[in-house]
Amino acid sequence: MTRTKKTTKADLKKIDAIIGNYRGQRWGLIPLLHDVQMAVGYIPPEAMPRIASGLGMFPSQVQGVISFYTQFYTEPRGKNIVRVCRGTACHVRGGKTILKLVKRELGLEEGETSPDMEYTLETVACIGVCALAPNIVINQETHGDLNPKKVARLFEGKRKK
Ligand code: FES
């Protein structure tokens, strides 16, 4: 889905303040990126040249680090992150149906964020609780042994209108 949140002047001000904490210190790139993501929710592409110049690097170097680490996001994400497991154990116990139901409940495809910035839907390879398959994680909370009724209950009142 397309980006629905624009980087505001306030966001750029926050980012500039963070850059100020690491100015000229190339080693600080990763903690700086973490700080930016914590402050703004993601790393706006328009911030990359500022970050690069603040640290004395090329924008392509900053971009390279961001693309290497999966924990960095260059698109705004929802307040709630829903991760549906696509691992083998979940797959054989109905994970595909669970994914279909979650997509329907949220009105989102994988990788999309709702226009109101409430939800982002992602899939993961395995969340490490295969015995409870099929599983999903909403923010930090795991929900296992799912079936269509449980999925409907989890998203009650949160359906896309
Ligand atoms: S395969 Fe889904 S939790 Fe491991």
Cα 54 to middle of ligand 1, angstroms: 42
Cα 89 to middle of ligand 1, angstroms: 5
Residues of the chain with CATH 3.40.30.10: 80-154
The reply to whether ligand 1 has any atom less than 6 angstroms from the CB of 138 is no
Cα 104 to middle of ligand 1, angstroms: 21
Secondary structure class of 80 (helix, strand, coil): strand
Cα 155 to middle of ligand 1, angstroms: 21
- Using one digit for the tens of pLDDT, what is the confidence trace for 124-157? 999 999 999 999 999 999 999 999 999 999 998 7
Cβ atoms of 4 and 115 closer than 8 Å: yes
The CATH number of the structural domain formed by 80-154 is: 3.40.30.10
Q: Whose CA is nearest to atom 3 of ligand 1?
A: 130
The reply to whether ligand 1 has any atom less than 6 angstroms from the CB of 99 is no
The CATH number of the structural domain formed by 9-68 is: 1.10.10
pLDDT of residue 160: 52
pLDDT in tens, the chain (161 residues): 545 567 788 899 999 999 999 999 999 999 999 999 999 989 999 999 999 999 999 999 999 999 999 889 998 889 999 999 999 999 999 999 999 999 999 999 999 999 998 999 999 999 999 999 999 999 999 999 999 999 999 998 775 54
Cβ-based neighbours of 15, under 8 Å, separated by 6 or more: 36, 39, 40, 44, 47, 50, 51
Residues of the chain with CATH 1.10.10: 9-68
Give the CA diameter of the chain: 54
